[in-house]
Amino acid sequence: MGIDSGTEHGTEPGPGTDPEAEADQAAPTRGDLAELRELTTELTRFMLAYKFATDEMMTKINILKEEFASIHDYSPIEHVNSRLKTPEGILKKAVRKGCPLVLDDIRAQIQDIAGIRITCSFISDTYRILDMLTSQLDVTVLEVKDYIAAPKPNGYKSLHLIVDIPVFLSDRVDEVTVEIQIRTVAMDFWASLEHKIYYKYHGAVPVDLVGDLKQAADAANRLDLKMEGLHDQVLAMEPDGSGETHLLEIAGLSQLALPEGLLAAIGRARAAESAPVTEPEDEDETEAEATG
């Protein structure tokens, strides 16, 4: 038999109940709706600020990547990707950290809401990118953790930095934190595998597998060192200027193609500017020499 659900099956409400009063109590008031709209707007602004901060940092990184690809012999940046924590992910992390569920507290205590990962070819490239990003005037470095020089016990290696950048909105400027990880291709491959194993075992990774991961991390480090050594040998064998990219070969920028005629004209003008200026001879001296 089904469960009788009151008035739906013709049963009258029990004594002392007022259906209209219950409906009024359940319906949101105008004040409740206004508060909900305000909370929605505040949360939307909160998330947008981190998205815009990510967009700004990605633009900075992609500018460096395109510059190196266009006018240098190679780019130290292999890949770049970004991610933004979902509101659910932020809430879970706040609960784990014991952070009050207040946006200002979340902003102060959770600094990896916006994240960017840069993958480089060589270990030296990671420090090169670190220096280029942290030297930009509108990037404030809050923290740097060098897990390349001092790896984690499990073998994890990477550069981690927390930066603060201004996000200019319509009515204010928000200072927003972004976490940036910089690592080599080998480090990234190892970290990706370790991450999958960690979640497969829900954090309780078997001891023998932990040992294998540490050995794999050591092998990845040896590979990094070997590949960088080979790279340095190749650079040492190249004659000066042999690795420079021709100005006409601007990767992906066909609209900026430079005609040979334009280059030649600019070259002639530059040569003319740098040529020594000869002062004209005095006319009286010239005439005296002619009559003498």
Active site (catalytic) residues? 179
H helices of the chain, in order, are 19-26, 30-71, 87-97, 103-109, 123-134, 185-200, 207-237, 260-274, 283-291
* DSSP character at residue 274: H
SS3 (DSSP) at 174 = strand
Q: Which residues pair with 105 in a beta bridge?
A: none
Give the Cα separation of 252 and 266 in Å (integer): 23
Return the closest-CA partner of residue 106 out of 46, 57, 53.
Answer: 46
DSSP 76-117: SEEEEEEEE--HHHHHHHHHHHT--S-HHHHHHH---SEEEE
Q: Which residues pair with 180 in a beta bridge?
A: 116, 161
Q: How far is CA 218 from CA 24, 157, 191, in A?
A: 67, 10, 13
Give the Cα separation of 20 and 17 in Å (integer): 9
**Residue that has been written with the tokens 């991390």 in this structure:** 217
Cβ atoms 155, 132 nearer than 8 A: no
Give the Cα separation of 170 and 160 in Å (integer): 31
